[in-house]
C-alpha cells in the first residue's frame, strides 16, 4: 500500500529524448485515497503514523517524477495537497494547535536531534551547542549536516531519532545521503502553525 523509503527514489522510467517515457506508472487514485484518509479525523491519526513510518513524503519529494514538467504535474499537485499533514492539528481532537503549541512541538524535535548529536556525534558539536532559533531552518540544518562525508553518520543520527532502524555492526546504509538529509529535514521542520 505505501512504498518503502527507496520505493519512489527512482519512481518512473527515465524520460526519453522525445519527451515521452516508457513504463511510467503513477496511479493518481492512490494519492486521492491518501487525501481522503488525511481529511477524516478517525483515519488521520493512523494515516499520519503510516506516512511518518514509511517516509512517503520524503520519497515523493525526491522522486524523479517531481522533476518531470508534463508527466509529473498532477503528481506534484497531489503531493502539494499532502503538505497539509504538517499543519498544526491535534490528531486526537481535530482542534487547531496554537502557534505556541506548534512551536513547542517543532522545538522539541530539534532539541531531541541536538541531544542525540551531543551524546553520540562529536563532529557535530557546533550544531548541538547552538540555540534552537539559530538551527531551525532548512538552510542551517543543510549546512550543519550536508558536510558529513559518510551517509552512515546521517543514518546513525536518524536511527537515534527512531526514524530508521539501526545499522548492524559493519553494515553500510542502503540510503543515499540526499535521502537521509531530507529525512532529517522533514523530521525537524514538519510542523507549521495554521495562522501563517
Q: Which of 86, 80, 84, 75 is nearest to 30 (CA)?
A: 75
Q: Which of 6-15, 77-86, 99-108, 163-172 has the lowest mean pLDDT?
A: 6-15
Residue with the bigger pLDDT between 132 and 194: it is 132
In angstroms, rounded to a whole number, what is the distance separating the alpha carbons of residues 88 and 99? 8
For the whole model, what pTM was predicted? 0.69
Q: For 103-122, what is the HEC assignment?
A: HHHHHHHHHHHHHHHHHHCH
In angstroms, rounded to a whole number, what is the distance separating the alpha carbons of residues 147 and 154? 11
Q: Return the bridge partners of 89, or none.
A: 96
Q: Return the bridge partners of 37, or none.
A: none
Per-residue model confidence as pLDDT tens digits over 122-132 = 888 888 999 99
User: Phi-psi category of 96—alpha, beta or left, where left has phi over 0 and alpha has psi -120 to 50?
Assistant: beta
Q: Which of 55-59, 73-77, 79-83, 116-120 has the lowest mean pLDDT?
A: 79-83
Per-residue model confidence as pLDDT tens digits over 131-159 = 998 888 888 888 888 888 788 988 999 89
Amino acid at each position: 500500500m505505501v512504498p518503502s523509503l527507496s520505493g519512489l527514489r527512482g519512481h518512473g522510467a527515465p524520460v526519453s529524448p522525445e519527451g515521452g517515457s516508457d513504463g511510467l506508472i503513477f496511479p493518481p487514485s492512490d494519492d486521492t485515497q491518501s487525501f481522503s484518509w488525511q481529511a477524516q479525523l478517525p483515519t488521520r491519526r493512523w494515516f499520519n503514523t503510516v506516512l511518518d513510518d514509511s517516509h512517503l513524503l520524503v520519497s515523493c519529494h525526491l522522486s524523479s517524477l517531481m522533476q518531470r514538467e508534463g508527466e509529473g504535474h498532477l503528481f506534484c499537485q497531489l503531493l502539494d495537497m499532502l503538505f497539509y499533514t504538517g499543519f498544526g492539528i491535534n490528531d486526537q481532537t481535530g482542534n487547531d494547535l496554537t502557534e505556541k503549541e506548534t512551536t513547542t512541538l517543532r522545538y522539541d524535535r530539534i532539541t531531541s536531534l541536538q541531544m542525540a548529536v551531543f551524546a553520540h556525534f562529536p563532529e557535530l558539536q557546533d550544531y548541538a551547542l547552538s540555540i534552537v532559533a539559530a538551527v531551525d531552518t532548512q538552510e542551517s540544518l543543510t549546512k550543519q549536516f550536508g558536510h558529513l562525508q559518510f551517509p552512515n553518520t546521517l543514518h546513525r543520527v536518524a536511527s537515534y531519532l527512531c526514524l530508521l532502524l539501526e545499522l548492524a555492526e559493519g553494515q553500510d546504509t542502503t540510503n543515499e545521503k540526499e535521502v537521509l538529509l531530507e529525512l532529517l529535514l522533514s523530521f525537524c521542520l514538519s510542523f507549521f502553525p495554521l495562522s501563517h
